[in-house]
Structure 1
Amino acid sequence: MYQQIVILTGAGISAESGLRTFRDQDGLWEQHNIEEVATPEGYANNPLLVERFYNERWRQFHDGSIEPNASHIALAKLEQEFEGDLLVVTQNIDDLHERGGSKRLLHMHGELSKGRCPRSKQTFVLREPFGPEHTCTCCIPAQRLRPHIVWFGEMPIGLDRIQHALDSCDLFIAIGTSGTVYPAAGFVDTANHHGAQTVEVNIMPVDRHSQFQYHLEGKASELVPRLVDNILSGKVISDLL
């Protein structure tokens, strides 16, 4: 039934795997001001603090208790069995989609498992937390790698590719994201403008200002596998309601 699908995932899909979200209700990121640990200026002022902040997240991801949940696995199944075009765009910096089996994936906010050369922008996979020994191999002299994270004030990764996919998709699904921060907040408007069906999957009740045509309320781990099975069987979103 559908030919081109774009899926946006946010913190909610990882929270079901046991990952804490960075931002607390008081606006702090793990007891730090955003300006300290999530901006280029903060990194320039205190790179050791920023590295320590992301190293704590890195250890959480790799403590052995965090695993992909049913929604990650269902999206990988959709990728493998769907005959049309599919792009999963995630706002998450963890690797749970990859570990769940997804390959057609774009990390618009970067990846915690990588460091980036500040000069060439080349990325390098990190097998251990950040330290002074992590330098690039692309420059002379070698540059100290920075976290491959999109901070506030920086441009998200792959926006041209995302825009192209949204312009031509016939189904856009947002899973576990509040959809209030731009540019991701504008994805639903773009999809609607081009005639796609738009669906929100969220544990929170629907916002009365939501631009999504359909809203599925509940846990992603329960709803996404069902949604994927319906898509693969040729059903439309309204069959779920």
Structure 2
Amino acid sequence: MYQQIVILTGAGISAESGLRTFRDQDGLWEEHKIEEVATPEGYASNPLLVERFYNDRWQQFHNGCIEPNAGHTALAKLEQQFEGELLVVTQNIDDLHERAGSKRLLHMHGELSKGRCPRSQQTFILREPFGPRHTCTCCIPAQRLRPHVVWFGEMPFGLDRIQHALDSCDLFIAIGTSGTVYPAAGFVDTANHHGAQTVEVNLVAVDRHSQFQYHLEGKASELVPKLVDDILSGKIVNNVL
């Protein structure tokens, strides 16, 4: 039934795997000021503090207890079985989508598993937490890598590709995202403008100002597998699964 699908995932889908979120009440922002650990100015002022902040999350990702949940695996299943075009855009910096098997994936806020050369912007895979030995191989002298994460005041990655996909999609789904931070908050307006069906999946009650046409309230790990099965069976998505 659908030909081109764009899916946006946020912190909610990873929270079900045990990852702490940035914006919830127990989120990491309560332990650090945003300007200290999530801005270019904070990094320039105290790179060691910023590295420790992201190293704590790196350790959490690799402690052996964090695994993809049913929401992640369902999206990977959709990618494997859907015959049309599909793009999953994630705001998350973890690699749970990849672990579940997703490949048609765009990390608009970067990836914690990578460091980036501040001069050339080339990225490098990190197999251990950040430290002074992590330098690029593209410059002379070698540059110390910074986290490959989009900070406040920086432009998200892949916006042209995302815009193109939204312009031509016939279904846009947002999963586990607050929908309050731009530019991602404007994706639903773009999809609506081009005639797509728009659906949000979230734990919280529907905001009366929401621009989504359909709202599914509950856990992503429970709702997304049902949603994927409906899409693959050719059903039109609505408020009832």
Same-fold call, TM cutoff 0.5: yes
Q: In the alignment, residue 206 of structure 1 is paired with which amino acid?
A: V
Number of the residue aligned with 2:231: 231
Count of residues in correspondence between the two structures: 241
CA positional deviation for 1:29? 1.3
Where does residue 100 of structure 1 map in the other structure?
100
Q: Structure 2 counterpart of 1:207, which letter?
A: D
Q: Does the 8 Å contact 1:28/1:34 carry over to 2?
A: no
CA displacement at 1:24 relative to structure 2: 4.8
Give the alignment's Cα RMSD to 1 decimal. Answer: 1.2
Q: TM-score, normalised by structure 1?
A: 0.98
Matched residue, 1:71? 71
Q: Distance in 2 between matches of 1:88 and 1:239?
A: 21
- In structure 2, the partner of 1:119 is 119
Q: Match for residue 211 of structure 1?
A: 211
2:170 corresponds to 1:191: no
- Following TM superposition, the consecutive aligned residue runs of length 4 or more in structure 1 with deviations greater than 6 angstroms are none
C-alpha displacement of 1:238: 2.5
Secondary structure of the residue aligned to 2:172 is strand
Residue in structure 2 matched with residue 136 of structure 1 by the alignment: 136
* Maintained 8 Å contact 1:24/1:30: no
Please tell me whether the aligned partners of residues 6 and 86 of structure 2 are also in contact (alpha carbons under 8 angstroms): yes
What SS is found at the alignment partner of 2:238?
helix
- The alpha-carbon distance between structure 1 residues 58 and 26, as it changes in their structure 2 partners (threshold 3 A), is closer
Q: Is contact 1:204-1:217 (8 Å) kept?
A: yes
Native 8 Å contact 2:16 2:221 kept in 1: yes
TM-score (normalizing by structure 2): 0.98
Q: Is the 8 A contact 2:201 2:223 kept in 1?
A: yes
What SS does the corresponding residue of 2:29 show, helix, strand or coil?
A: coil
One-letter code aligned to 1:159:
L
1:106 is paired with a residue whose SS is strand
Kindly indicate whether the alpha-carbon contact (under 8 Å) linking 2:21 and 2:27 is maintained by their aligned counterparts in 1. Answer: no
Residue deviations 1:41-95 (CA, integer Å, cap 9, x gap)? 0000000000000000000010000000000000000000000000000000000
Cα distance in structure 2, aligned partners of 1:155 and 1:82: 31
Q: Secondary structure at the match of 2:93?
A: coil
The structural deviation recorded for 1:240 is 3.1
Query: C-alpha displacement at 1:22, in angstroms?
Result: 2.1
Percent identity between the two aligned chains:
89
Contact 2:173 2:201 in 1 (8 A): yes
Does the Cα contact within 8 Å between 1:4 and 1:84 map onto a contact in 2? yes
CA distance in 2, matches of 1:58, 1:27: 15
Task: Name stretches of at least 5 consecutive residues in structure 1 with no aligned partner.
Answer: none
Q: Pairwise mapping of residues 12-31 of structure 1 onto structure 2 (< 5 A)?
A: 12-25=12-25, 29-31=29-31
